[in-house]
Amino acid sequence: MANTSDIKNGLCLNYNNDIFKVVEFLHVKPGKGPAFVRTKLKSLTTGKVIDNTFSAGHKIDAVRVERRTYQFLYKEAEDYNFMNSETYEQVMIEGKMIENGDLLKDGQNVEILFHAENETPLTIDLPQYITLKITYTEPGVKGNTATNVSKPATVETGAEVKVPIFINEGDQIKIDSKTRSYVERIKK
């Protein structure tokens, strides 16, 4: 059993019959009254984010997890198939467990978080930045130079993202996998 002094970002814990991951935390020591820890917890089964406050010294049930690198193989209906590059073991994961899964391209490496005791996958972390090729976008209109003008573009995985107007078909772009936002154009 751990206590509130062990809370840090990324810690997984059992709480209300579910497994939660600590997204944010803040240790607070007010002038009056006891100290407490204010947290933002994300459910690893539903994806729901909740705010919770633990009093100082409160016992928490930490979950032992392992982070392993897997390679994305292919998508079958709504499920994604991954392979461990060391053991060649394959695992199939439901699409609802993967945030922005439509940005995954074949052969890309991801980090899968496993519950260490029962070997079940909990979450999948895509790389922070993904490089993809633009397969379709409307040409930019000359003279339309207002700041922050964007247009929709389809990338090689079939996902649609917003890009600046100077991006054309065939360009390689870097995308932030968390926010699905354009970062930069890759020079050839």
Do 182 and 161 meet the contact criterion of CB atoms below 8 Å apart? Answer: yes
* Strand positions, DSSP E, the chain: 2-3, 12-15, 18-28, 36-43, 49-55, 59-62, 65-76, 79-84, 90-94, 109-115, 121-125, 129-137, 150-155, 160-164, 172-176, 181-186
Write down which residue in 37, 62, 87 finishes a domain: 62
Look-up of token digits 């292919």 = 74
Q: What is the mean pLDDT of each run of 10 residues along the chain (188 residues)?
A: 86 90 91 91 86 91 90 90 90 86 89 87 88 88 68 90 89 91 87
3-state secondary structure of 43: strand
Q: Do 91 and 45 sit in the same domain of this protein?
A: no
Q: Do 18 and 44 sit in the same domain of this protein?
A: yes
Do 66 and 118 meet the contact criterion of CB atoms below 8 Å apart? Answer: no
Q: Do 73 and 54 sit in the same domain of this protein?
A: no
Q: Do 74 and 112 sit in the same domain of this protein?
A: yes
Residue 172: the pLDDT is 93
Q: Do 111 and 140 sit in the same domain of this protein?
A: no
CATH number at residue 20: 2.30.30.30
Residue 160: the pLDDT is 92
Residue 147: the pLDDT is 67
CATH number at residue 101: 2.40.50.140
Task: Check residue 183 and give left, alpha or beta (phi > 0: left; psi -120 to 50: alpha).
Answer: alpha
For 96, phi then psi, to 5°, come to: -70, -15
Write down which residue in 36, 62, 88 finishes a domain: 62
Residue 22: the pLDDT is 92
Q: Do 103 and 144 sit in the same domain of this protein?
A: no
Q: Which of 124, 173, 121, 177 is nearest to 150 (CA)?
A: 173
Q: Do 56 and 92 sit in the same domain of this protein?
A: no
User: How many Cβ atoms sit within 10 Å of the Cβ of residue 137?
Assistant: 20
Q: Do 15 and 26 sit in the same domain of this protein?
A: yes
Question: Could you list the residue range(s) of the whole structural domain that residue 51 is in?
Answer: 2-62
User: How many Cβ atoms sit within 10 Å of the Cβ of residue 161?
Assistant: 23
Domain count, the chain: 3
